[in-house]
Amino acid sequence: MSKTSRRNRNQPSSGRPIWPWLAAAGALLLVVGGLVLWNSSRSRPAVTPQVAGAPKLVVDKTVVDEGYVRFNLPVKTTFRLSNVGDQPLKIKETPVELVEGC
């Protein structure tokens, strides 16, 4: 081998290193993939409305019996509300009626 070919082989290439670009592209790919997964998990399943032309509220429980509860102890009850109509449902602040002793 000639001396010039040995010297050229040991010298670094004149371009910039490629690894920062690869790292940036990998990070960008991870961020875009994460956003796609996050957005797909937020999408709602397609539901066929039961009522056309109006909103309709469906409540999963209409009566709740918590049994005997001592005075001043908090009670937590959860209701699942669904709109089965094809129009937007607006829920305004409504007082809750508490029936004691029943």
Residue 67 or 39, more confident: 67
- Round the average pLDDT of the chain to a whole number and report it: 78
Does the model's pTM come out above 0.85?
Answer: no
In this prediction, residue 88 carries a pLDDT of 86
Inform me whether the pLDDT recorded for 4 exceeds 90.
no
Q: Residue 101: exposed, middle, or buried by beta-carbon count in 10 A (0-12, 13-18, 19+)?
A: exposed
Q: What is the pLDDT of residue 80?
A: 87
Structural contact between residues 66 and 75, judged by C-beta atoms closer than 8 angstroms: yes
Q: Write down the pLDDT at residue 29.
A: 92
CB 11 within 8 A of CB 3: no
